[in-house]
């Protein structure tokens, strides 16, 4: 299927591994020009090498910490302005969860989770808006979580902040629609990215069991009985960012193997 990405200008914040890198691979294969951004130059260079080997095309890279450095999203978009003068697609893949009980969490923990899961997208979208307004069929996709629609116990901060992110998406869709800018969220379920691989490896070490035992345990409550591969989430991110989804905005679509039990 032709997703209509040929020549389109895309930035993926959080593109050095995981779902962001998998999205970059699809966009590059489909002919888009891509900048991937993250905190670590080493990670970005490694991703560029992998992506070039996998797709035959290399992304540009840009070092930006959109959580710790409030100005870095603006610096990234200044680079986009110089290079392309407009932006068609923005993907925000920064975020993650902490497994912890409510009574162990401090104000600092809550603020850090808010910055990681909500403010990261706020900053990226805010800095990109003038460039998106000048873009061709502009679209934003951010990464929510299945937990935004079906909260899990023991990860309260993600439940709260990913639900807040959906409020952000819906409100921005209302405010940006008249400029022709679409914004949507994809809600992954459990996905085999470094986020989960690191968590499962730590749990396996604590319990003295093989890491695959941890993955099997957490797959039990997923109707499809397995974790997603990053590409299975990225195809929805790419499709929502594409002109094929031209009448979809303000939505959050779960790609979760059926784990979220609610009707909406
Ligand atoms: N994996 C899952 O099971 C799952 C489930 C539900 C929701 N999600 C959501 O999906 C999104 C992507 O998850 P993932 O599993 O792909 O995560 P991941 O494997 O941890 O990858 C995160 C990406 O973001 C970058 N990053 C982290 N902090 C950053 C910062 N402050 N500034 C810029 N870049 C930063 C990382 O690169 P550097 O280290 O190089 O900075 C990396 O490229 C997140 O929003 C997550 O909450 C994932």
CA of 193 to the centre of ligand 1 (A): 8
Q: pLDDT tens digits for 31-87? A: 999 999 999 999 999 999 999 999 999 999 999 999 999 999 999 999 999 999 999
Residues 81 and 34 in one domain: yes
197 has pLDDT over 80: yes
109 has pLDDT over 80: yes
Report the candidate in 195, 246, 190 with the shortest Cα–Cα distance to residue 221: 190
Q: Is 39 in the pocket of ligand 1 (CB under 6 A)?
A: yes
- Range of the structural domain that residue 21 is part of: 9-189+228-255
Residues 98 and 213 in one domain: no
CB 11 within 8 A of CB 90: yes
pLDDT at position 263, please?
86
Residues 157 and 206 in one domain: no
Band the pLDDT of 1: cuts 50, 70, 90: confident
Tokens of 117: 């899961």
Residues 91 and 218 in one domain: no
1 assigned to some structural domain:
no
107 assigned to some structural domain:
yes
116 assigned to some structural domain:
yes
DSSP structure string for 20-87: HHHHHHHHHHTT-EEEEEES-HHHHHHHHHHHHHHHS---EEEE--TTT-TTHHHHHHHHHHHHHSS-
Residue to mutate (ligand 1; options 96, 99, 194, 227; most atoms within 8 A of CB): 96
CATH of the domain at 141: 3.40.50.720
Residue to mutate (ligand 1; options 119, 152, 188; most atoms within 8 A of CB): 188
263 assigned to some structural domain:
no
20 assigned to some structural domain:
yes
3 assigned to some structural domain:
no
Residues 68 and 181 in one domain: yes
Band the pLDDT of 166: cuts 50, 70, 90: very high
């Amino acid at each position: 299927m032709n997703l209509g990405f040929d020549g389109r200008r895309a930035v993926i914040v959080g593109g050095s591994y995981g779902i962001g890198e998998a999205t970059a691979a699809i966009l590059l294969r489909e002919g888009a020009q891509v900048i991937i951004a993250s905190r670590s130059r080493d990670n970005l260079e490694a991703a560029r090498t992998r992506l070039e080997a996998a797709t035959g095309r290399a992304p540009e890279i840009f070092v930006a910490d959109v959580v710790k450095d409030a100005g870095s999203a603006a610096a990234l978009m200044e680079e986009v302005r110089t290079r392309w003068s407009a932006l068609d697609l923005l993907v925000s893949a920064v975020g993650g969860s902490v497994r912890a009980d409510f009574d162990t969490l401090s104000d600092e923990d809550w603020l850090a989770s808010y910055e990681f899961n909500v403010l990261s997208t706020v900053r990226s979208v805010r800095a990109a808006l003038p460039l998106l307004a000048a873009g061709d069929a502009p679209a934003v996709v951010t990464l929510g979580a299945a937990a935004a629609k079906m909260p899990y116990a023991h990860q309260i901060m993600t439940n709260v902040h990913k639900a807040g992110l959906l409020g952000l998406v819906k409100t921005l869709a209302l405010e940006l629609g008249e400029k022709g800018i679409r914004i949507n969220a994809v809600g992954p379920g459990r996905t085999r990215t470094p986020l989960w691989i690191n968590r499962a490896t730590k749990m396996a070490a604590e319990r003295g069991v093989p890491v695959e035992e941890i993955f099997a345990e957490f797959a039990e409550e997923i109707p499809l009985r397995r974790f997603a591969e990053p590409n299975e989430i990225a195809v929805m991110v790419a499709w929502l960012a594409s002109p094929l989804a031209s009448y979809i905005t303000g939505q959050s679509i779960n790609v979760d193997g059926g784990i979220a039990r609610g009707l909406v």
